[in-house]
Every structure is written in structure tokens, then in C-alpha cells.
A = this chain, B = another copy of it.
Amino acid sequence: MFNEFGKIIKLTTYGESHGVALGGIIDGFPAGMPVDFDAVQRELDRRKPGQSKIVTQRKEDDKVEFLSGIFEGKTTGQSIGFIIRNTNQKSTDYEHNTRVFRPSHADFTYFHKYGIRDHRGGGRTSARETANWVVAGALSKQLLPLVSINAFVSSVGDIQVEKSLYDLDLTLTDSTIVRCPEKSTAEKMIEKIAEIKKDGDTIGGTITCIIKNVPVGLGEPVFDKLSARLAQAMMSINAAKGFEIGSGFEGTRLKGSEHNDIFIKGGKTLTNNSGGIQGGISNGMDIIFKIAFKPVATIMKEQTTIDENGDAAIIQGKGRHDPCVVPRAVPIVEALAALVLADFWLFNKVRRI
């Protein structure tokens, strides 16, 4: 109910940051798909901690073990169980936080909702959970071989990509540790993050995602609009505070005569303010959306706060945290997009007799 996503292909997950393992079950995945295990692990490696100097230094192998649903290299149509063991959970880093609440962190809300305080660390609120999503997303990508999904970091703090989307060479995204395909901007971002980290602080940013070769017809109005499902998925990522598709907030300033995407012979449109979705259904143009991520809440600076009794206290972060969430969120965004598309792609097969 709560820890599941999708309708025909449904991912259900479990696992805490400082527990013994993460994992999940992918139900409803069609039989007969050859699995590229290396491709799955590559996606996990893109997300894992400790990859570079600008991300958390926690070391995790993030090796996934598939437990069922795949036989002789192919999916069997049965539920796919998988597990990722935690190997580097240093809960001692966190013990000092036991009684106080980290500002803008989920400590406070989890404690009041569930009546439980997991003093080992972020527990279920940790971004470690997203490793599960990457596994499911990597399989979903393989189900849609013609579709290409490319996310990249479009801003860090005030530093933004300068070129327009179609002038960027997206094959360069992973060539920089910040995952920005514009080299000069990437350098500024890296410098900025390094500086922020040195200062014990964190910084926000945005990720833009473009999806090509999506067939016309994906999405199911009225409450399963493709745009609405993508929004739900992306807003599920830790630290996400905003989502926009196509012209987004900027498009609100335009007139219909400026904003409308004029059809040309064959069904393509001259412009793409719609971001590839009209009436909640893909129209065959590129799907383009952007997500806002706030700065990570855990900083290495002293902050005033309260404890479990509601009394004033002082907190100073320790442990190993990302100074900026966006570089590692790139494969997460792609994974969730793949999950959404694969699910709708299957639905679309049964929407006409």
C-alpha cells in the first residue's frame, strides 16, 4: 500500500539505512525478457555512495542478489525478489542524535507518527532506499529498449546549465562527477560543492530529464495521467520539492497563441511546450521534465533544535552525508521514469480491443 509503486509492474520495497539489508519485489514483470545483469549493476554503481569526492564517503558495494523470478537468464513472469546487503552501516556515527531532532529532517515526523525513534540513523527515510528503485528501473529500461531516458544535473545552487537542452551533448553527462553534460558548468558546480562541503554545509539543485522515442498513447486519464504519475514518482525522491513538465512555471506567463504546439504533417509538433504529454497521454514528442531538490538537511554545523521532550537543544551533524544530492539522484530519476513508462506501456496494450 505505502511502500509500493506501479500497477501492473509493481515494485514493493523494504530496508533501513542501518539495518541488515534493503530489497524489494517486482511483481507483474512479463515473462521471457533476457536480463542484462551487468546493466543493472552499472545503474547501481552510478547511484552508490563513495564514487567521488563530492558525494558521501560511506562505502557500500551495493551488489544486488536476485532471488527469484529469473531462470536461465530470463524473466519467468513470477515475482522477482532481490536483496542488497548493507555492509557499511556505522550506526555509531548517529548515536549522538538519539534524543534531538535534526532540523528539516524526517526524525521529528517519524517519531510523532510511529512513536518509534530509530537511533541508528535515517532508517527508512534514508536515500539508501533508492537503490531498490534503481534495480527495478534498470529492469524496466530493458523492457523498453527503444526508449532512451537521460537525466542530468541542470543546476547546483545558482550555477545553471547555459546551453539550451538540444544543444547539450547528453553522452557527456557521466563524464563529470557532478553529472552535468556541460563541461565548463560542471567544473563550477564541482568547485561549488567542494567548497560547500568544506564548510560543513549543503546545497540544492535541479535535475532535468529528457525521454526520447516514447510511443504515442502512454498514460491513463483522469487520475493516472502520465504527468501526474511522473510527478508522484519524482516527488517521492528524498529532498524533492518541485516538479515541472514542458514549459512548467515559465509557461504560465504565456498566451495560448504563443504556447500551443502546432502540429505538422505526420503528427509531430513545431514546438514542445507540452513536454511530450497532452491530456495526460504521451504524444510522441520528447518528454521533458525538471525536479527541484532542496539542500540536504544534515549539515556539519551547529544548529539549535529540540529534543524528544520538546526542549531546546544543540545539534551538530556527524557521519557521512552528501553535500549535494543531485549527482547521485540522476540514476534515480531515470529509474523511476523507466518504471512509470514500463507500467503504462503494458497498460496501453489492453486499452483497445
A243 within 8 A of B: yes
Cβ of A163 within 8 Å of any chain B Cβ, yes or no, is: no
Q: How large is the interface on A (under 10, 10 to 19, 20 to 34, 35 or more residues)?
A: 35 or more
> Is the beta-carbon distance between B261 and A106 smaller than 8 angstroms?
no
Is the C-beta of A190 less than 8 angstroms from some C-beta in chain B?
A: no
Find the B residue at minimum CB distance from A269.
Answer: B103
A213 within 8 A of partner (CB): no
Q: Tell me, rounded to whole Å, the shortest Cβ–Cβ distance linking A160 to chain B.
A: 10
Contact with B along A55-83 (1 / 0, CB 8 A): 00000000001011101001011111101
Q: Are B305 and A263 in contact (CB under 8 A)?
A: yes
Q: Are B232 and A77 in contact (CB under 8 A)?
A: no
Using known A-B contacts A253-B158, A260-B303, determine if residue A15 contacts B68 with beta carbons closer than 8 Å.
yes
Q: Does A45 contact B (CB under 8 A)?
A: no
Interchain CB contact (< 8 A) of A228 among B69, B236, B261, B350: B236
In the bound assembly, the distance between CA atoms of A103 and B233 in angstroms comes to: 28
- The CA of A239 and the CA of B265, in the complex, are separated in Å by 25
Residue A92 lies at the interface, judged by CB distance under 8 Å to chain B? no
Q: Is A224 an interface position by the 8 A CB rule?
A: yes
Q: How many Å from the CB of A4 to the closest CB on chain B? A: 6
Task: Assess A78 versus B123: contact at CB under 8 Å? Given A3-B223, A103-B260, A106-B278.
Answer: yes
Per the bound structure, the CA–CA distance linking A305 and B24 in Å amounts to 39
Docked complex: A200-214 residues within 8 A CB-CB of B: 201-206
A222:B143 contact, CB within 8 angstroms: no
How far does the alpha carbon of A274 sit from the alpha carbon of B245 in the complex, in Å? 22
The answer, yes or no, to whether A47 is at the interface (CB within 8 Å) is: no
Quick check: B236 and A81 within 8 Å, CB to CB? no
Chain A, residues 248-265, CB within 8 Å of chain B (1/0): the string is 110111111111111111
Question: What 0/1 pattern do residues 188 to 227 of A give for CB contact below 8 A with B?
Answer: 0000000010000111111000000000110111111101
The 6 A-B residue pairs whose C-beta atoms are closest, nearest first, are: A106-B279, A14-B81, A242-B244, A202-B256, A204-B252, A109-B281
